[in-house]
Structure 1
Amino acid sequence: MNETKKPVLHVSCVPRKDTTLLKISLSQDDLGILFRVTSVLYIHGWDILEAVAETSHEGHVQDLFVIRSWNGGEMTESLLSQIRKDLYSLFYEEKSVEEYLRDHGKGEVLVRKVGDPEASLKLYNPISSDFTVMDLRMKDNTGILFQITEALFHLGIDIISFTANSSDGKIRDSFLLRTSLTGEKLDEKTMFPLLRSRLENFL
């Protein structure tokens, strides 16, 4: 009799001077990893400053996140355990991010409009790269990364890497993107207008 293997989710962290390196390993790749992780860290009061996806020789996916607490708090063992539990529920127990946020009284972030008239969004396909680059400059706003990753998730767009820089109340977020269906760059004639329209709805 064959037993169904339980999906693997491994979560660990390495404290740094002002940030924490969060490592999340999954037994299989999945669209919307950053979307789910962003929602969990948002609930627990942590910002994602950088994110990089890696695939091991065994086919496991490991995502690395540089995170920082909103209030200068530390990543304790109990908090890390709760984050692991929440992520497992989102990845393997069919709980939607929308349900998860509403369960924690944060459903308003799903429809919140930032309203930054000076927001700047650039999309382009470098000749020398296999990915689409998306640069976003706007005023800093709690939960904005979640809204961006939600839009990308629903459009079937994978985030390969992400970095955030902030100064004087402004942020510059840079993403490397590709379509989840083909693994190619985003089509400039079809996907660019769709993505731009979706993001401009809440910027």
Structure 2
Amino acid sequence: ATKTGNLYRLKMLYLLTFADIKAVGPESWTPWKNTLLMELFLKTSHFFERGGVVRPFLKGNEMIQKLKESLPPEIISEYDDELPDRYLSSYSSAEIAHHIEMARSIEKGLLLVEWEMEKETHAKVTLCTRDRYGLFSKIAGSMFLSRLNILEAQIHTWGNGIVLDTFWVEDATKDIDRRLQQFKKDLEEILGGKSSLKDLLSKRKESNRIIQKVIPKVSGEVKISNQDSDFYTIVEVTGEDRLGILYEITQALTDHGCDIHFARVSTLGNRIVDVFYIQDTWGEKIEEKQKTDRLKEILLNRFTLNEEITVKDQNR
């Protein structure tokens, strides 16, 4: 941020870097490179937009050492092998210490949801719970149910099965706090087995009125790579942003038997750039061409829906 100087220069640098990599060849721009560049861009842009002070993001053992300043040794030893390097490099030591406190607290309940208002219509949401199949789709669906538009998200799964997710959401009606309260209530009912997303959508008439025909201004594009990670299939989805699109994408992934371990969700103007690190239900990469071609087709269809969204019950 110090070297770039301002947000305008940062955007121009991002575009220049993108163009430079793409100019090398059609296969040079990969989901992995996009994730790295997008993460750097978003972290730096947040600094300019929020007027904050630059914080160093440490990696691996450096962060663990930093955490020892605020957490007892016995807690550090309990979690130091469970926190992925990608997660450790995404947050400050103070944020990670608080996340660990949240993780220890969910022993008493189903999940913890916290949020802080950033603008009248924007909030940062932190969610902590235990991993389960289809979780990301249930979260995104619950936000869609409350008419919350997800602008950005970081999805992290720890080695011990704890999920720590951060969402940046907006609600143009300036009623975001009430909608977040409703989101939390709905998600608790869904994860607790008291209701299903399908039932809640059916009961809420407003949420059932989905635009019949969507004509995107930005063409949808799906890239699937098995070369950039030894353990995960990487799926990159770009296309037109609209309310509920992340729910539709994550539901499609879940319905196709994909388990999402890490995700980076971004919105640039009216365009989404979402990257998912996935495995099949056996914990393996999805490498068969027939399966990846079918998955690509299903995801692309999310941008050209000709009928109302069908919500499948994923409480299985």
TM-score (norm 2): 0.53
1:133 aligns to what? 234
Give the Cα–Cα distance (whole angstroms) in 2 for the partners of residues 148 and 195 of structure 1.
11
Structure 1 match to 2:297: 197
Indicate how the Cα distance of structure 1 residues 75 and 200 shifts in structure 2: closer, same or farther if over 3 A, else same. Answer: closer
- Whole-angstrom CA distance in 2 between matches of 1:140 and 1:67: 15
Q: Following superposition of structure 1 onto structure 2, how do residues 30-109 of structure 1 map, counting pairs within 5 Å?
A: 30-48=132-150, 49-55=152-158, 59-71=160-172, 73=174, 75-76=176-177, 79-105=179-205, 106-109=207-210
Q: Are residue 22 (structure 1) and residue 122 (structure 2) matched?
A: no
Q: Go from structure 1 to structure 2 and tell me whether the alpha carbon gap of 1:191 and 1:113 turns closer, same or farther (over 3 Å shift).
A: farther
Instruction: Determine whether 1:186 maps to 2:286.
Output: yes
Unaligned regions of 5+ residues in structure 2, if any?
Answer: 1-106, 304-316
Secondary structure of 1:141's partner?
coil
Aligned with 2:133: secondary structure? coil
Larger radius of gyration, structure 1 or 2? 2
Once the two structures are superposed, residues 83-126 of structure 1 have per-residue CA deviations (whole angstroms, 9 ceiling, x without a partner) of 222111111125222222121122354x9553448221111113
In the other structure, the counterpart of 1:155 is 256
Distance in 2 (alpha carbons) for counterparts of 1:112 and 1:177: 30
Q: Which has the higher contact order (CA 8 A, sep 6+)?
A: 1
Check whether the contact 1:19–1:66 (CA below 8 A) recurs between aligned residues.
no
Gaps of 5+ in 1: none
Structure 1 residue 119 and structure 2 residue 225: aligned?
no
Distance 1:45 1:103, change over 3 A: same
**Other structure's SS at 1:130 match:** coil
8 Å CA contact 1:22–1:66 kept in 2: the answer is yes
Residue 137 of structure 2 aligns with an amino acid whose one-letter code is: F
Looking at structure 1, the residues matched to 263 and 124 of structure 2 have their Cα atoms a distance apart, in angstroms, of 15
What amino acid does structure 1 have at the position aligned with 2:114? S
Aligned length: 192
3-state secondary structure, aligned to 1:71: coil
Identity among equivalent pairs (%) = 22
More helix, by proportion: 2
Alignment of 1:169-180 (within 5 A): 169-179=270-280
RMSD (Å) for aligned C-alpha atoms: 2.8
